[in-house]
Structure 1
């Protein structure tokens, strides 16, 4: 289970469908280790990850005039916040396949908000939260910073297509070495409701995925991509 964060929001319906698109190697690592990889926030492609909007930065600069450590604290925090990103969508997304799988040998995990919550296994050294990302104009809009996670639950409007929900943890109170990220314990059977195989994959690959999942002792549903449907004329 995870800890509620009163300052983060989630879709009202706990059965809201979420997706993670990934390559076969990362999927197998998830099944074999039964651990979910959480990326270090400053390693994301978006260089603005965990930073401030301009109005927020101006306010924080004023607050840190006589206390430079205040700003330094937020700068260093990016190295100690870890994130697992999921995409809200009732259906598969062609764009997500294109962005997050490098070739035709990818998979998509289908889950729900409730399943994510139930899949998290409590960690002794840090809390885990789940929140929906807000997409704003970083030049004009203000990000409230009453909460330690505030910059990590906001992104620029250019990323609105991601419709992101995040599992997020702050490990700054620990001496854990996280390098590019950290693996956290999860209940795989709760985490994964279904697996969808890449729409451009070949039959041998589909059979391989089915065989690997079976040999590893899992029985979640494996679906052919809806984007692979036969053309009707």
Structure 2
């Protein structure tokens, strides 16, 4: 279930548009299972994921001198936190298409912050939180650690182009084995407002996506990418 955390910041407007770029197999898995896959935080490509900046780490080391378990807990905690990443943008992002889809056969889910919050309400086994990622200089800037989610809501400035908002769940209290991640229950019709098809995809692929969505019993609005618009000259 979605929970509000006053320490976690989000855009004030619930109609803020967010996107998820993914390939067809992951999209079909979402529709068939009606579950959203969330990755284990220490399995992300960025090795800094869920870690601390240098100033914060120095402070934690001081606190850990007489309590080594304090630091060990933060290290192991990354294995129990799962994340689903979304991109904040009023429009499609050419860069996101390039990074997260391959072979011109990707899709983009368009949603909003408010829709994400409502979509999370059907999961009853554990709580999810939604927060906007802060981009900082890990050599100079401080990450607070008075909230266990804070390490997962900061990234290096090099990733600022991602403009990321995250669905996060802490499974520390759950007796669940997590390999690469796990799936959570979601209200698919709340989660997905529109679907955009890769701007470089062929017509057969577009027809295939439309047919598959229809056969699975969904009636999402399916758009061709705005980046595919005809040239006016």
Q: TM-score, normalised by structure 1?
A: 0.98
Aligned to 1:108: 108
**Per-residue Cα deviation, 1:166-191 (whole angstroms, up to 9, x for no partner):** 00001011120110000000000000
Q: Return 20-29 or 120-129, whichever deviates more.
A: 120-129
Structure-2 separation of matches of 1:150 and 1:206: 40
Aligned to 2:91: 91
Q: Structure 1 runs of 4+ off > 2 angstroms? A: 121-126
Which segments of 5 or more consecutive residues in structure 1 lack a partner in the other structure?
none
Aligned to 1:176: 176
Cα 1:122–1:148, aligned 2, differ >3 Å: closer, same or farther?
A: farther
Structure-2 separation of matches of 1:30 and 1:138: 35
Residue 119 of structure 2 corresponds to residue 130 of structure 1? no
Q: How many residues align?
A: 233
Aligned to 2:199: 199
Structure-1 separation of matches of 2:176 and 2:121: 18
Structure-2 separation of matches of 1:126 and 1:35: 14
Aligned to 1:155: 155
Aligned-partner SS, 2:15: coil
**Per-residue Cα deviation, 1:118-172 (whole angstroms, up to 9, x for no partner):** 0003544421100000000000000111101110000000000000000000101
Structure-2 separation of matches of 1:186 and 1:135: 28
Contact 1:135/1:159 (CA < 8 Å) preserved in 2?
Answer: yes
Contact 1:125/1:171 (CA < 8 Å) preserved in 2?
Answer: no
Contact 1:134/1:153 (CA < 8 Å) preserved in 2?
Answer: yes
Which segments of 5 or more consecutive residues in structure 2 lack a partner in the other structure?
none
**Per-residue Cα deviation, 1:180-215 (whole angstroms, up to 9, x for no partner):** 000000000000000000000000000000000011
Residue 215 of structure 2 corresponds to residue 227 of structure 1? no
